[in-house]
Chain A
Amino acid sequence: MMRRDDCLKALARHVTDADIVLPVYSTAFDWIDIRPHPLNYLSHGAMGLASSHGLGLALGRPDKRIIVLDGDGSLLMNLGTLVTISEVAPPNLYHFVFENGTYEANGGHPIPGRTNVDFAGFARSAGYPTVHEFSDLKIFEQQIGAVLAEPGPVFVDLKIVASGPQERDYGRLHGPQVRKAFREALTAG
């Protein structure tokens, strides 16, 4: 099992200034400290929708890599997205799920079926052409660059441990200044 912040640091080394990254909840708060950037798309409006926003961005900006950093509880709220993304098959979409088995931002309660759910299996069954699972940080660090070079849609299940307490200022995700900065950065390039 890995730590979320270690995975994010490894990922950040391979994310370019042109990439759009959509992190959710606890992952978002870690990510914006590790890699602050105006092309972080942080305002998703409702739990579970990050990958759907990502699909819209992938369709509208095929010149950019779209990297969704989903949560397991979030993905369970929108499992149909796996089917939709598989059918549309955007080659520039990379869908990560950080699997810690809990609703970490909502009290740390377990997700339903935490010992049984197979997120990579969901993605394969939905039709994702490329699916990876990582539970060892060293292997993830070695392979993440190659994963992000594969044609999408790519699904990556990261097995992580639950994190400790976290300061969560939701204005950093949902504030109007966040969306304004994103819009301006996207328009600029």
Chain B
Amino acid sequence: MQVSASVEGAALLGGSVIREIKASGIDYVVSVPDITTSEGLLRPLAQESKPRLIRVCKEDEGVGICAGLAYTGKRALLLIQQTGMLDSINAIRGVAVEYGLPICMMVGLLEKEPGVPPRQSKRYGVRIVEPILDAMGIPYHEIEADADLGKIRPAIDDAYAGSHPVVLLMGRRPA
């Protein structure tokens, strides 16, 4: 396992991530709680009136909700855990990939070791995520430290401009 010295001890501030989410024009955050993003993102987002938080029972519901919103010109972010993303592969396949809709997902990587690339994680459930996204042709970006914040807005803008899904992989708990 290779640990990246540049990000091993780096911080990721939740407030900065939320600032980027807002700057991306996100109107709705649709979420099933995820322990990686629970305190740093979901809890503060729940205190905000915009973006509006929609709590769903299961992640594939969120895929459908985000799709409906996309047709109306509203931007949405599906905030979930990679276990939920894996559970929703068929919905993502049909709605996001085959229909070419801008389903933007921010996905917490459960128990990924900070500073370790997802593909090199000791956790099977983490290691398989990027190869699966590659197989599905879905672009993704690793968000591991504040230095990665600049990836968020362009990724979301690109998804809406090109009408395709994107996944932002949250590799550590935002502080």
Residues of A within 8 A of B (CB): 41, 43-46, 48-61, 78, 80-81, 83-84, 87-88, 174, 179, 182-183, 186
Contact = CB atoms under 8 A, between A and B. Distances in A.
B91 A60 contact: no
Interface in B25-67: 28, 54-58, 60-67
Contacts of B99: 43, 45, 179
Chain B contact residues, majority secondary structure: helix
Contacts of B90: 46
Nearest to B66: A56
A184 to B, nearest CB: 11
- Minimum-distance CB pairs A-B, first 6: A56-B68, A60-B72, A80-B57, A52-B64, A45-B94, A45-B95
A24 to B, nearest CB: 12
Contacts of A81: 57, 61
Contact of B72 (A61, A88, A174, A179): A61
B119 to A, nearest CB: 28
A84 B64 contact: no
A45 B99 CA distance: 8
A186 B71 CA distance: 8
B147 interface: no
Contacts of A41: 68, 71
B98 A45 contact: yes
User: Counting chain B CB atoms within 10 Å of each CB, which of A56, A57, A60, A87 scores highest?
Assistant: A56
B19 interface: no
Interface residues of B, number: 30
B74 interface: yes
Residues of A contacting B: mostly: helix
Given A43-B99, A78-B58, 8 more contacts: A46-B90, A49-B95, A52-B61, A55-B65, A59-B28, A61-B72, A81-B61, A84-B65
Contact of A84 (B57, B74, B96): B57
B92 to A, nearest CB: 9
A60 B71 CA distance: 8
B133 interface: no
A183 B71 contact: yes
A45 B68 contact: no
Contacts of A59: 28, 54, 65, 68-69, 72, 74
Nearest to B56: A84
B71 A182 contact: yes
